[in-house]
Amino acid sequence: MIRRISVEQRIVDSARKRAAILGCSVLVGLLLGSAIIIASGSNVLEVYAETVDAIVGSARSVQQTLRATTPLILTGLAAAVAFRMRLYTIGAEGQLYIGAITGSGMALLLGDGHSTIYVVPAVLLAGVIGGIVWALIIAVPRAYFGTDEVVGTLMLNFIALHIMNWLIFGSVSFWRDRENLGFPGGKIVPEAAQLHQFWGRADTGIFIAVALALILGLYLKWTSHGFEWSVIGDSLRAGIYSGMNVRRQIISVLGLSGALAGMAGAMQVASVTYALEPRGLESGSLGFTGIVVAAIAGLNPRAIVPAAFVVAGITTAGPSLSRIGVSPASVIALEGILLLSVAGGQFFNHFTLRVAPAASEASAEPAS
C-alpha cells in the first residue's frame, strides 16, 4: 500500500533543535566520508585519529590550525552575511585577491621606519577598502537592475586573479621584487606590516577574526540593520511593503561581505605570504572554502569560529593523511561530503517530511 510523502514548511526557532540538526548532519557526513576512506583502501579509525592528531595533537599542530583558521573565519563571515539575505555571492575569492593587492601595496608604500601600531591597521584598512570597491562593481547593478550576483562575482574572481598574476608575472610593477632574477615573486612587506606571532606560528590575526565574528553576531541580532537584513532575506516583498530601502541594504550587505574578504587577503599578506604571492594566495581556495564554513555553521557568525577551526584542521591534516595513504583528492572529497550533508541538514530547519496515509486508508470507515 503506497503512502504519500509531503513536504511542509516550518521554522525551527529553537537553538537546541538547530544544533541537534547540525550535529546529526555532521555525523552523517562523517559516516558517508567513511565510505570514501574505505574505497581508497585506508582504515577509517586510523584516518580520523590522524586527523584529530594533526589538528590538536601537539602545540605545533594547534598553531598551524589557528593560522589556517583566521582567513576562513573572515571568508566564512563574508559568505554568511550575504547568504542570510539570500544574496548568493561567490566573489570572496576575487575580493580576497584585491584585498591582498591593496593591503600589500599599502605596506610597501609605507615602508620601514613606522610603528606596527599604525602600519598594520593601515594595511588591513587598505584590504577592506579594496574588497569593498571590488564588491560594489556587482552590488550596484544587483541593487538597481537585478543582475545575477552569482555570475557577476564568478567572473570578477577570474579578473582579480589575472590582475594579481599580471602584477607579479607579467609586468615590472610596484609589487614585484625586481631584484629577484629567478622565478618572479612579490616584494617582502616591511616587518612593521607583519602581524605579531604570539605563540609559535600563531599570530594575532586570530583574535581580530574571532572578535569580528562575535561583533557581527551581536550586530545582526540587536541592530535595526540586522533586523532589516533578516526581513528582506525572509521575504523581499515584505521588506519593500514595510518601507525598507532594499537597494541600500543590498549594497550594504554586499559591501560588508567584500570588506571581510578583502581584510582576509590583507591579513594573509601580513601573516602568511609576507608578499603579494599569487601561488600562496591561490592555494586553499580560501574564498570558496569560506562558503563551506558558512554552510557548516548554518550562517551563524558565532558558529563560524568552530566551523572554521574544523575545516582548517581537515585542510592542514592533508599532508599527515597523505603519509598514511589518503590522497589529496580524498581529502577534498571528504570536505565536499561534509558540506553536502550539512546543506542537506539545513533543509530540516525550514521543512519537514510528513507521511500521509494511503487514500484507501483515509477513506475507510469503521464498521458499525
Per-residue model confidence (pLDDT) at position 150: 93
The band of 357, judged by pLDDT with boundaries at 50, 70 and 90, is low
Answer whether residue 365 shows pLDDT above 60. no
pLDDT of 297 above 90: no
Which residues lie across from 197 on neighbouring strands? Answer: 203
Least confident of 81-85, 155-159, 364-368: 364-368
Residue predicted with more confidence, 335 or 107: 107
C-alpha cell belonging to residue 6: 509531503
Section 247-260 average pLDDT? 96
pLDDT at position 2 is 57
| DSSP string of 10-45, one letter each residue | -----HHHHHHHHHHHHHHHHHHHHHHHHHTT--HH
For residue 107, give the nearest of 228, 215, 231, 265 by alpha carbon: 265
Output the pLDDT for position 8: 67
Domain segments of the chain: what residues?
Answer: 73-297
> From CA 15, how far away is CA 294, in angstroms rounded?
17
